[in-house]
Amino acid sequence: MQNLVKGAADKAVGLALTNMEQVESEVQDCADDLHDVNDTLEQGVAELARMEAALAASQQALAESAAALLVAQDAEQQAKREAMHDAATGLPNREHFNLRLVHAIAQAQRHGLTLAVMFFDLDKFKAINDGHGHAAGDSVLQQVADRLVAHCRAEDTVCRNGGDEFLYLLIHPQGRENIERIAQAVRSAIGKPIEVDGQQLAIHTSIGISVFPDDGALPEELVHHADMAMYVAKKGQSGVAFFADTPESQPTA
């Protein structure tokens, strides 16, 4: 009987040991699996961190590229503006004026409108530069430009032709009388005293006028004929002359 009990006890102990070993094996397997999971998780976290860093770097590079593009576009626009404007007065330059005149002629031809080109020359401007210095001369040019702009309609264009010369394009001025009225009004505005270094300088201008289509159909013709009329204006008392009234405009026999 004792042998049977002892045998049963040994068998139970052996079974318990076997079960323990199996449990320990399973626990070890679980521990190994957990270790693998932790390793995989750490690798995933590290990979995620690398991806986030790469994304942040890409976003930074994109932002820098966008900023650089804006700077380049601004620089391009500024360069274009400077290429089409006079540095001293800020007015459109002759190239800009020519483009506007070409467009205006095309529109006038299409719709049967008239145009007028007024050529301004400041009388005795050289005496201002010689007597008061180039800084005073530049100030006079700037103030003349401001007065021209103040009398310029939105559809019209004024430009500095160079030196002491300015051009004024009138869109559909509606008749010679209106053109002359505008010319005299601008001439009167320019003629008001200009203060330079505490001195009041009197500025006078001569204006030659050509009219499209009677005085030319091309931009260079209209400007040239207005220029010729300006020299006639310098000799007259009104200071304004139309190309149509000059000897050069009369047909030869």
Q: Which residues are catalytic?
A: 164
What does the alpha-carbon distance between residue 167 and residue 119 come to, in Å, rounded to a whole number?
5
Q: Is the dihedral angle over the CA atoms 52, 57, 58, 60 positive or is it negative? A: positive
Burial zone of 117 (CB within 10 Å; 0-12 exposed, 13-18 middle, 19+ buried): buried
User: Residue 206: left if φ>0, alpha if ψ -120 to 50, beta else—which one?
Assistant: beta
Q: Where are the alpha helices (DSSP H) in the chain?
A: 2-84, 94-111, 125-132, 134-150, 176-191, 219-235
What does the alpha-carbon distance between residue 9 and residue 17 come to, in Å, rounded to a whole number?
12
Kindly give, in sequence order, each residue whose CB lies less than 8 Å from that of residue 85, ignoring residues fewer than 6 positions away: 91, 92, 93, 96
Q: Which of 224, 208, 203, 230 is nearest to 141 (CA)?
A: 203
What does the alpha-carbon distance between residue 171 and residue 30 come to, in Å, rounded to a whole number?
91
Amino acid identity for residue 227 in this structure: D
Amino acid identity for residue 50 in this structure: R
Chain length of the chain: 253
